[in-house]
Amino acid sequence: VIHLDSKNFDSFLASHEIAVVDFWAEWCAPCLILAPIIEELAEDYPQVGFGKLNSDENPDIAARYGVMSLPTVIFFKDGEPVDEIIGAVPREEIEIRIKNLLGE
């Protein structure tokens, strides 16, 4: 899982056909619950780019995608947001969205 910021965010999206970005903050307890799930999915789906963006440190990017609640997971295809999940959800819910994007 790549740690994203304003310097590498756009190039990260450009270099992955499908990307999953976890918008989080250190004070957010549900974000800490979601983090290991994102790590597991990153191992299981090496063909998908996984990134984490600290919303407190990068408010400009969070605002660009209208992120108001944390955690928010946004799914990108060809650099464009195509789906999102708000809140800490079970792994299966995120995995279903990934499989849909992969056409599985």
Positions marked catalytic? 28, 31
Beta-carbon contacts of 72 under 8 Å, excluding residues fewer than 6 positions away, are 22, 23, 65, 84, 85, 86
> Which of 43-73 are b and which e, b meaning 16 or more Cβ less than 10 Å from the residue's Cβ?
eebeebbbbbbbbeebeebbeebebeebbbb
Read off the tokens for 38. 């994102």
